[in-house]
Amino acid sequence: MRYSIVTLEILIPLVNNLLHFSEKVLSLCDHPALLDKSETHALYSSDAIERAWQILEKIPGRATGAYSHSQGVKGLRDEIAAGIAARDGFHASGDNIFLTDGASPAVHMMMQLLIRSEKDGILCPLPQYPLYSASIALHGGSFVPYFLDEEIGWGLEVDELKKQVDEARSKGITVRALVVINPGNPTGQVLAEENQKKIVEFCKNEGLVLLADEVYQENIYVEDKQFHSFKKIARSMGYTDDDLPLVSFQSVSKGYYGECGKRGGYMEVTGFNADVREQIYKVASVNLCSNISGQILSSLIMNPPKVGDESYESFMVERDGIISSLARRAKALEEAFNSLEGITCNKAEGAMYLFPRLHLPQKAIGAAQAAGAAPDAYYALRLLQATGIVVVPGSGFGQAPGTYHFRCTILPQEDKIPAIISRFKEFHEKFMDEFRDVSRDEAPTGTTIESGGD
């Protein structure tokens, strides 16, 4: 291979390590004896030392090595709830927080509780992050897909939800919950507030649990969109804890922090009655508790340094630097894809992904079939072989029949993006030349060559 492998897939952390403030606090909590030593002030900022003290005070016996309550350390949950309340402008309670080893175990926990048999269905977007299909399969339920509409920027239309629910019910499936990923993975869209209201209304009317994957809440790259949690939307519509069962998933793996190796996260669980809450707690307690470092980090992302803290300015510089760099990377990749023959790409409004569509020539589709591969998998493999660039075929996420895509992250270092783009372009142009259905001379000027099934 001529190149070293560059992954446009999420195998690399967002930054090489924690933001410096979090890094220091965790380091102190791991080795609390440091807090009593004067030399420590030479190595750690005063607010990191202060925060470590505060955190240790919240942990019974100051024992970061002990099991915690199965929902997580109460003081850390309260801190997270305060962060949620500040974000949303509505009350949140630490009693509703379940700290978990990243968002994935929280999703599994809810699937385990919701799915009784293959007659129970969970509505999930297509394309979707395959955690959902995997978890539903593992727990023996039915995956009920709804399609995001690529033509309107991967919009989530309530008519489509209704159609799919009715169809599932006609097959004897009890649809129990709706999964919404906002901002979207792998599709990168940010839902509009009006759209979210309709989704809440739909769940209320249909008696569905709303499972809101909100792990990309800090990753917004466009001026005209903002993140609104589904809980905020529901409360702003006047719905209380009695009206709508709602679970919001959050993770330390995304945002500007990107600390996926720490396995921290939480779910905020509202709108369930006491009996069901008891069952959620029982399932949480089977694995005793989530790791305490992840719990601490979850509290730090929901309560970052504030104005006046020693680390505030450097924290904001790091944070804004990362988010604005991600926005520039997203824009550069999106523009590059849209400049190419046979590729169209929606705007990356949020999350960490682009999901460009490949309008593959019929000849390429034929070559893929001959090779026994899905057309987009064939394309991705050829790309990898020619350039060392890794993308994930759309067929891994699900897509409308007859369409082909790939997911690429916006995570490579910003200074490497131009070189990646030029390698990608070179490959793509050669690929299109190799498989063009008609020769350049014969093709009408300016037309895009599209694959069948559009």
Using CB under 8 A, list all residues that contact a second copy: 10-13, 15-18, 20, 23-24, 26-28, 30-34, 37, 39-40, 42-43, 61-68, 101-102, 104-105, 108, 112, 131, 134-135, 138, 140, 253, 258-263, 283, 286-294
Instruction: Output 62 or 198, the one with its CB closest to a second copy.
Output: 62
Nearest to 360 by CA among 390, 346, 340: 340
Give 101 or 349: the residue with its C-beta nearer to a second copy: 101
Cβ 264 to a second copy shortest distance, Å: 8
Q: Cβ of residue 205: shortest distance to a second copy, in angstroms? A: 32
The one-letter amino acid code at 307 reads: V
How far apart are alpha carbons 410 and 14 in whole angstroms?
9
Tell me whether residue 218 or residue 259 sits nearer to a second copy (CB atom). 259
Whether the ω angle into residue 127 lies within 30 degrees of 0, i.e. cis, is: yes
CA distance 369 to 87: 50
Task: Compute the least distance from the CB of residue 88 to a second copy, in Å.
Answer: 27
Instruction: Name the minimum Å distance from CB 77 to a second copy.
Output: 15
Residue 436 CA to residue 451 CA, distance in Å, equals 11
The answer to whether the Cα torsion of 176, 182, 188, 192 is positive or negative is positive
Number of neighbours of residue 177 by Cβ within 10 angstroms: 23
By beta-carbon proximity to a second copy, the closer residue of 288 and 419 is 288
State in angstroms the smallest separation of the CB of 50 from a second copy.
16
CB-count exposure of residue 79 (10 Å: 0-12, 13-18, 19+): buried
CA–CA–CA angle 16, 31, 47 (5° rounding): 70
- Whichever of 28 and 161 has its CB closer to a second copy, that residue is 28
Alpha helix locations (H) across 176-239? 193-206, 230-236
Nearer Cβ to a second copy (23/206): 23
With left for phi above 0 and alpha for psi between -120 and 50, is residue 398 left, alpha or beta? left
Distance CA 218, CA 257 (A): 9
Residue 233 Cβ, how far from a second copy at the closest point, in Å? 29
CB of 40 to a second copy, least distance (A): 7
User: How many other C-beta atoms can be found within 10 angstroms of the C-beta atom of residue 251?
Assistant: 30
Residue with smaller CB distance to a second copy, 271 or 412:
412
